[in-house]
Chain A
Amino acid sequence: MKIGFLGLGDMGQAIVPRLIAAGHTITGWNRTKEKAAPLLELGMLWADTPREVARQSEIVFSIVTDTAAVRSLALGENGILAGLRKDAVYLDMSTIDPDGSRAIAAEFAKAGLVMLDAPISGTTLTLGQGKASLMVAGDKAAFERVLPILLAIGPRVTYIGAQGLAVQLKVAINMTLVIEVIGFCEGVALAEKGGVPREVAVDAMLKSVVASPVLNYRAPLILEGHLSDATYGNVNLQQKDMLLALDLGRKMGVPVPLGAAANEMLNACRGLGLAHHDFVAVYEVYRRLGGMSK
């Protein structure tokens, strides 16, 4: 199929090759053209604007950092809406605020066009391993049509319901993920302060029932000297999603005390100058607060 892909950051770089490998023709665009270079080598085509990408595509994907970025490339003068074909489907994979997503989708609906929210759960690591999960919401018939293409991106694709509900769920999942990883850091700190060597504590956690997919790939980073081994999601990136969750809680009148507490730990991390590391660097906050030697 002819697929358009907007947003060639880390996630885009990992997704586009999978679509190419599945035999699709991809036309891509990114605000900074240089990022497209490695994908052009793999056979991706380039178009100068989101509008141009949309004109040439049966399915259009976008994955960018925030609501403002999505709004700009979807609804801007040379945006997707201006070029999308009547029978095409637009899927936004960005993790943005649900109300923002719904407002953008409403503009597409007014023009008789379909927009689905299709946030993707996973890191570049799990994507490359063919293990990413997608949650999709919006017009069900459109979802059924694009499902085979989505399965080329990741094996676990779940239909959630009315448009906007997939990003809502993604925000909730991301909040749970951060709380979980910070909880792990708190637990290891408790053990280590009491005399258990850090490697032993981490190993035991990963062999226990608290072991989860995310802990399996993040836990090793807190071992001495390993923090810079990988950055699956740095503090700032993870905090962006956490703030979405807190904002949702505030808007809906649902308290999220653990989310709020976790967010303050991310602040503490930034205060220590660790924002560019994977957010599991929160462990370093505990280490310093607990007066533990390196």
Chain B
Amino acid sequence: MNPATKKIGLIGLGLMGRPMGMHLIKAGYPLTVWNRTASRAEELVAAEAKLAKSPQEVAAASDFLLTMVSDPSAIEAVLWGPGGAMQGLKHGSIYVDSSTVSPALARKIAAACAERGVRFLDAPVTGGDWGAKKGELIFMIGGDAETLKEAEPVLNVMGKKLFHLGPHGAGQTIKLAMNLILALQVDALAEALALVTRAGIQGEKLVEVMQSSMARSGVLDVKAPNLLKGEYVPSFPLRLMHKDLGLALDLANQLGVALPATAAARETYNYVKGAAKEDLDYSAVMQFWKK
């Protein structure tokens, strides 16, 4: 299908939304955008995206709506607040939410969409802003296979892999589980560095051994330099990782599953988030040991 005939709407032009939007424009899709802070739209508008006055206007102008906002309350405002997108969505259109929210909220959105004849997918991503810029995001998808098939060409413009994980909510569940793994991995590296540093050994040596061993992992490759240098430019902000840990623990609480390590890690991230004077990457968890 010729991209030029499929009108895409994008709401949420933050760290992730902007590069995702640029890939859509480069692929030839006509793009309409909206963001709470309008100035974030400048780059995309300069690349010929249309700026709408409200989420509703974006939805009404789209065959395919994509949202990428920070948290459950943001998506609820975008969908159901004044000038919200839900009332503008066209019958027969597709709506994909790539924000990370609770599985329950994903199911609620799916139900509201079904009432309007709109096909919904929860499709949170992993890969950070780096993955978004390279068009190499990994999408974790919940919803039906037919809708996914139709959404594939659009998602493939922004991502390198699509996983269909189950019905609505499944994408979010896997995303939350993924992020708890990442949060714990980075927290574990921070603890290990604190230990060796206090014992008088350079952190670089630990990282070198780790990277030649079975403890090596992609995320630790990317984050280790942050922890060693003490520099935490946000790629995935700590406040968002902290929010995701909260969502994971909420889900576990609802299901009656104990997550002792996740609960403990969240307290460490709590402290660093509270003490931080600016927006930092989640690898700033290392700062717990800087006191």
Contacts and interface: CB of A to CB of B under 8 A. Distances in A.
A243 B257 CA distance: 15
A275 B254 CA distance: 12
A94 B256 CA distance: 25
A175 to B, nearest CB: 12
A233 to B, nearest CB: 17
B100 to A, nearest CB: 17
A42 B278 CA distance: 60
Interface string B223-237: 000000000000000
B256 A271 contact: yes
B253 A243 contact: yes
B263 A261 contact: yes
B259 interface: yes
Contacts, number: 55
A61 B264 CA distance: 38
Contact of B259 (A255, A264, A270, A275): A264
B259 A253 contact: no
Interface in A241-256: 243, 249-250, 252-256
User: Majority SS of interface residues in chain B?
Assistant: helix
Interface stretch (B19-27, B61-69, B188-196, B265-273): B265-273
A250 B259 contact: no
Contacts of B274: 252-254
User: Majority SS of interface residues in chain A?
Assistant: helix
Contact of A267 (B252, B268, B270): B252
A228 to B, nearest CB: 20
A270 B252 CA distance: 11
Interface in A261-282: 261, 263-265, 267-268, 270-271, 275
Contacts of A253: 270-271, 273-275
Interface residues of A, number: 20
B246 interface: yes
A268 B259 CA distance: 9
B260 interface: yes
Contact of B258 (A250, A264, A275): A264
A268 B270 contact: no
Contacts of A250: 242, 246, 266, 270
B270 A254 contact: yes
A225 interface: no
B256 A267 contact: yes
Nearest to A271: B256
B257 A249 contact: no
Contacts of B260: 261, 264-265
A255 B267 contact: yes
B258 A271 contact: yes
Contacts of B253: 239, 243, 263, 267
A139 B263 CA distance: 37
A271 B258 CA distance: 8
Nearest to B262: A264
B263 A254 contact: no
Given A260-B264, A260-B266, A261-B263, A267 B257 contact: yes
A148 interface: no
A270 B246 contact: no
A255 to B, nearest CB: 4
Contacts of B259: 264, 267
Interface in B4-21: none
B267 A267 contact: no
A257 interface: yes
A255 B270 contact: yes
Contacts of A260: 263-264, 266-267
A249 B258 contact: no
Nearest to A274: B256
Contacts of A264: 252, 258-260, 263
B273 A249 contact: no
A271 B273 contact: no
Nearest to A272: B256
A267 B249 CA distance: 10
Contact of A257 (B242, B252, B264, B275): B264
A236 B264 CA distance: 21
B263 A268 contact: no
Contacts of B252: 264, 267
A253 B272 CA distance: 8
B270 A263 contact: no
A243 B252 CA distance: 13
Contacts of A275: 256
A271 B260 CA distance: 14
23 contacts: A239-B253, A249-B267, A249-B270, A250-B242, A250-B246, A250-B270, A252-B274, A253-B275, A254-B271, A255-B270, A255-B271, A256-B267, A257-B267, A260-B264, A261-B260, A261-B264, A263-B253, A264-B252, A264-B263, A265-B258, A267-B257, A271-B255, A271-B257
Interface of B: 242, 246, 252-253, 255-260, 263-264, 266-268, 270-271, 273-275
Q: Which 10 A-B pairs have the closest CB atoms?
A: A253-B274, A268-B258, A260-B263, A270-B256, A271-B256, A255-B267, A264-B258, A255-B271, A267-B258, A257-B267
